[in-house]
């Protein structure tokens, strides 16, 4: 998604909806709380990880250089990696991609909520 925002910063909502009508959640699988993926090798190098972390730190401090950075910061906020003080201001900086970022955030929050419910349900009656 972030790559698409970078490659097509001027895409209109109409253009994107023409390619994928409906809500993003209609195209995503229902989260399975028992599924775990374990990577056998790192997907990106440490220098890339460090660069993305610096980009994220700058975004949290208010230095948002592109719609991609805004989307990245909002997704990190939804995952509780960082805490944005004004997410609506950051969302506005996503431009035409704001709607898809909101859809992703809604999905991530739903998954997080279900995971939290699953953990809470597992601790009921087990002394936890």
Flag the least confident range among 31-40, 67-76, 89-98: 31-40
Task: Give the Cα separation of 96 and 10 in Å (integer).
Answer: 7
Q: Which residues contact 10 (CB under 8 A, 6 or more apart)?
A: 96
Tokens of 95: 């431009």
> Residue range 50-69: average pLDDT?
91
Q: What is the pLDDT of residue 108?
A: 85
Residue 113's nearest CA partner among 82, 79, 88, 86 is: 79
Tokens of 77: 């906020």
Q: How confident is the model at residue 42 (pLDDT cuts 50, 70, 90)?
A: low
Q: Residue 110, Cα to own-chain centre: how many angstroms?
A: 12
> Residue range 16-20: average pLDDT?
58
Task: Give the Cα separation of 19 and 88 in Å (integer).
Answer: 26
The radius of gyration of the chain's CA atoms, rounded to the nearest angstrom, is 17
**Location of structure tokens 């995503």:** 28
> Residue range 64-89: average pLDDT?
91
38 and 47 in contact (C-beta within 8 Å)? no
Q: How confident is the model at residue 21 (pLDDT cuts 50, 70, 90)?
A: very low
Q: What is the pLDDT of residue 128?
A: 46
pTM: 0.60
Question: In the predicted model, is pLDDT for residue 73 greater than 90?
Answer: yes
> Residue range 3-14: average pLDDT?
65
């Amino acid at each position: 998604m972030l790559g698409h925002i970078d490659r097509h910063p001027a895409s209109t909502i109409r253009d994107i909806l023409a390619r994928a009508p409906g809500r993003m959640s209609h195209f995503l699988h229902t989260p399975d709380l028992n599924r775990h993926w374990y990577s056998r090798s790192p997907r990106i190098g440490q220098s890339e990880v460090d660069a993305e972390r610096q980009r994220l730190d700058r975004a949290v401090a208010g230095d948002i250089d592109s719609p991609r950075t805004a989307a990245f910061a909002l997704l990190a906020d939804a995952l509780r990696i960082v805490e944005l003080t004004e997410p609506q201001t950051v969302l506005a900086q996503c431009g035409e991609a704001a709607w898809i970022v909101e859809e992703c955030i809604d999905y991530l929050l739903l998954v997080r909520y279900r995971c939290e419910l699953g953990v809470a349900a597992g601790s009921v009656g087990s002394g936890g």
